[in-house]
Structure 1
Amino acid sequence: MNITAPQIVLGTMDFGTRVGTEQAFAILDSFVAGGGVWLDTANCYSFWADPDGVGGASERVLGAWLRARPGARDAVRIATKVRQNPLVPHSWPDSAEGLSTDAVRAGVEGSLRRLGVDHVDMLWAHAEDRGVPLEETVGVFGELVSKGTVLRVGAANHAAWRVERARSLAREQGVEPWTALQLRHSLVQPRPFTRLAEDGHRLLTADDLDLAHAEGLTVWSYSSLIWGSYVRADKPLPQTYDHPGNTRVLSVLDDTAGEVSASRNQVVLAWLMRQGIDPIVGASRVEQIEQALAARHVRLSDEHVERFARAR
């Protein structure tokens, strides 16, 4: 599925809000020292936790870290997103920026300014905007690639058919198509047809994987570790995950973790990478990102993977 081997992506959503600048710097330093490359942020992170009610804090912290670490820009790749930042403080989703030409250009300009860079390595459309013709969104994303402002483009939280339609339009326009998908995915799954509590989250589906396999698209997963629910008794799985299939999967997870001498989280990350998926991992402490990076060395056998499949 991926052009390169799957890898751990550092999610920086809480930097500048729930995670202070000093701690964020330490996490970033540890991530790079451990061989990590991709940093995932968004222009809207994290408006819901910011007293000002708008995003930009995460990008500002990353920009400050890049300035404080000579050579760091060459060591990392930066992915950011446009679509969800409130244009009016404390007014989301009513004032969320869209995916019109002007909105995307303005969103990226703001991101580059906060990051202090002249380009980003990946630009995601954070969510669909069906109020704007898809042709227009495809065109402005392609324009940014042609200018070198963005090196790759991808779609987060989009239906597979919309992604393929956008790729077809890109071919017609002769511009760079979306080549990456970002969706919510983990080892355990919520009950079918239940509504997620988190507005805007879209689960990875069989159709998404089919499209990715057929077209050679990169897939990133967010909420990969369900906010610590695999390992923290104080953060149980959301109620929508309470079903017999997950009970069986968690039992297999415990057995597998013992057999490969790894934590639950590390097995989950290794399982995702075995699927050809790049898992995004957030961290509030250095040891958390160190433990996540260690998942790259966990080797799951075909039998382990099959046991998880049979448990569902």
Structure 2
Amino acid sequence: MDTNDPQIILGTMDFGTRVDPDRGFAILDSFAAGGGVWLDTANCYSYWSDPSGSGGASECVIGAWLRARPATRGAVRIATKVRHNPLVPHAPQSAEGLCARAVRVGLEGSLERLGVDHVDLLWAHAEDRAVLLEETVGAFGELVAKGTALRVGAANHATWRVQHARSLAQEQRVEPWSALQLRHSLVLPRPLTPLAETGHRMLTAEDLDLARSEGLAVWSYTSLMWGSYVRADKPLPQTYDHPGTARVLTVLKDVAGELAATRNQVVLAWLMRQGIDPIVGTSRMEQVEEALAARHVRLDDEHLARFAEAR
């Protein structure tokens, strides 16, 4: 596969906490064997599920896997994030933030846990408006100049902040953010309705316009809505309870039947058809196989039109 084509990203948030290391190894093995490339983690994953109250468990599992499978380091790419790891265990209000020192120290800790000398993509996990954007941009640029991060990107940032940061990077002559990570899926919440997950930021048409104009990569999270497309015991949140959702789900059922694909696969294919790289969090190997098979599901213009009309 051309690495410039949209790809399935393996989300590893629960590794080392809700997903034990042995199962994490099996999922990583299956992903790599199926031709998967990108692993997505963060230095804060998952402090809320870890008895220690601190992040790092996910990166530790990936690092142990890389040491046990040394040949895989050249086959996979690692993306991690800084911003949210609590400096005081069990105290999210003590999050490290995005000052220059926090960015530098955060990545140093990630590299140690991962057992690597660089990451392929470093994300600013969310905005930190207590810090001048010039400082954050300079810190990320410094890491690229040192070679400890090959690329940098912004997750959960307002569109105007990303563009402003890119202008600041140009002024400072440092590497700009070249990727966006935002929440996106086939179904949409009710307009103007706040999400229950306050830290999440939805992908907008403006984000996509910026990405396409500037050649930025776009990654989506919560791509499969926690299994709600296929599991009766995982209903969509109340914010998605509106007529458009019902129409979309009807079209999704029909298209999946026509293409002999699962509903999850159709959703992932829909995202990739738009040039978006969907992150898929899994807890079983069969979920990895299902997700990777979505690369072979072909949606034509008529399918896209039906979804657009339903939304």
Superposition TM-score, scaled by structure 1 size: 0.98
Local SS of the residue matching 2:70: coil
Which residue is 1:76 aligned to?
Answer: 76
Unaligned runs of 5+ in 2: none
For the 8 Å contact 1:262–1:298, the answer to whether it is kept is yes
Task: For residues 166-190 of structure 1, give each alpha carbon's deviation from its aligned partner in whole angstroms, at most 9, with x where no partner exists.
Answer: 0000000000000000000000011
For the 8 Å contact 1:260–1:298, the answer to whether it is kept is yes
Relative to 1, partners in 2 of residues 1:53 and 1:23: Cα closer, same or farther, differing over 3 Å? Answer: same
Which residue is 2:165 aligned to?
Answer: 166
Which residue is 1:27 aligned to?
Answer: 27
Which residue is 2:10 aligned to?
Answer: 10
* Pairwise CA distance, 1:20: 0.4
Q: Write the mapping of 1:81-230 to structure 2, written as runs, cut at 5 A.
A: 81-92=81-92, 94-230=93-229
For the 8 Å contact 1:184–1:201, the answer to whether it is kept is yes
* Pairwise CA distance, 1:199: 2.2
Which residue is 1:265 aligned to?
Answer: 264
Which residue is 2:274 aligned to?
Answer: 275
* Pairwise CA distance, 1:70: 2.0
For the 8 Å contact 1:155–1:181, the answer to whether it is kept is yes
Local SS of the residue matching 1:81: strand
Local SS of the residue matching 1:32: helix
Local SS of the residue matching 2:170: helix
Query: What is the alpha-carbon distance in structure 1 between the residues aligned to residue 233 and residue 246 of structure 2?
Result: 18
For the 8 Å contact 1:269–1:279, the answer to whether it is kept is yes
Local SS of the residue matching 2:230: coil
Could you tell me which amino acid in structure 1 is paired with residue 217 of structure 2?
T
Local SS of the residue matching 1:251: helix
Which residue is 1:303 aligned to?
Answer: 302
Local SS of the residue matching 1:47: coil
Unaligned runs of 5+ in 1: none
Query: What is the alpha-carbon distance in structure 2 between the residues aligned to residue 252 and residue 231 of structure 1?
Result: 14
Could you tell me which amino acid in structure 1 is paired with residue 79 of structure 2?
A
Could you tell me which amino acid in structure 2 is paired with residue 266 of structure 1?
Q
Query: What is the alpha-carbon distance in structure 1 between the residues aligned to residue 120 and residue 104 of structure 2?
Result: 16
Query: What is the alpha-carbon distance in structure 2 between the residues aligned to residue 153 and residue 180 of structure 1?
Result: 7
Query: What is the alpha-carbon distance in structure 2 between the residues aligned to residue 296 and residue 195 of structure 1?
Result: 32
Query: What is the alpha-carbon distance in structure 2 between the residues aligned to residue 86 and residue 190 of structure 1?
Result: 30
Could you tell me which amino acid in structure 1 is paired with residue 176 of structure 2?
P
Task: For residues 92-121 of structure 1, give each alpha carbon's deviation from its aligned partner in whole angstroms, at most 9, with x where no partner exists.
Answer: 1x1011100100011000000000000000
Count of residue pairs the alignment pairs up:
310
Query: What is the alpha-carbon distance in structure 1 between the residues aligned to residue 90 and residue 188 of structure 2?
Result: 32
Could you tell me which amino acid in structure 1 is paired with residue 106 of structure 2?
G
Could you tell me which amino acid in structure 2 is paired with residue 128 of structure 1?
E
Local SS of the residue matching 2:182: strand
Task: For residues 190-236 of structure 1, give each alpha carbon's deviation from its aligned partner in whole angstroms, at most 9, with x where no partner exists.
Answer: 10111111121000001100100110100000000000000001101
* Pairwise CA distance, 1:3: 8.2
For the 8 Å contact 1:3–1:218, the answer to whether it is kept is no
Which residue is 2:291 aligned to?
Answer: 292
Superposition TM-score, scaled by structure 2 size: 0.99
The question of 1:55 aligning with 2:47 is answered no
Relative to 1, partners in 2 of residues 1:3 and 1:210: Cα closer, same or farther, differing over 3 Å? Answer: farther
Query: What is the alpha-carbon distance in structure 1 between the residues aligned to residue 152 and residue 184 of structure 2?
Result: 20
Query: What is the alpha-carbon distance in structure 1 between the residues aligned to residue 115 and residue 99 of structure 2?
Result: 24
Task: For residues 243-291 of structure 1, give each alpha carbon's deviation from its aligned partner in whole angstroms, at most 9, with x where no partner exists.
Answer: 0001000000001000110000000000000010000001000000100
Query: What is the alpha-carbon distance in structure 1 between the residues aligned to residue 60 and residue 165 of structure 2?
Result: 31
Query: What is the alpha-carbon distance in structure 1 between the residues aligned to residue 255 and residue 47 of structure 2?
Result: 39
Task: For residues 42-82 of structure 1, give each alpha carbon's deviation from its aligned partner in whole angstroms, at most 9, with x where no partner exists.
Answer: 00000110011110000000000000002111110000000
For the 8 Å contact 1:154–1:181, the answer to whether it is kept is yes
Query: What is the alpha-carbon distance in structure 2 between the residues aligned to residue 5 and residue 276 of structure 1?
Result: 8
Query: What is the alpha-carbon distance in structure 2 between the residues aligned to residue 215 and residue 38 of structure 1?
Result: 22
Query: What is the alpha-carbon distance in structure 2 between the residues aligned to residue 248 and residue 119 of structure 1?
Result: 45
Residue identity over aligned pairs, in percent, reads 78
Local SS of the residue matching 1:48: coil
Could you tell me which amino acid in structure 1 is paired with residue 254 of structure 2?
D
The question of 1:247 aligning with 2:231 is answered no
After the TM superposition, which parts of structure 1 deviate over 4 Å for at least 4 consecutive aligned residues?
Answer: none
Query: What is the alpha-carbon distance in structure 2 between the residues aligned to residue 121 and residue 199 of structure 1?
Result: 28
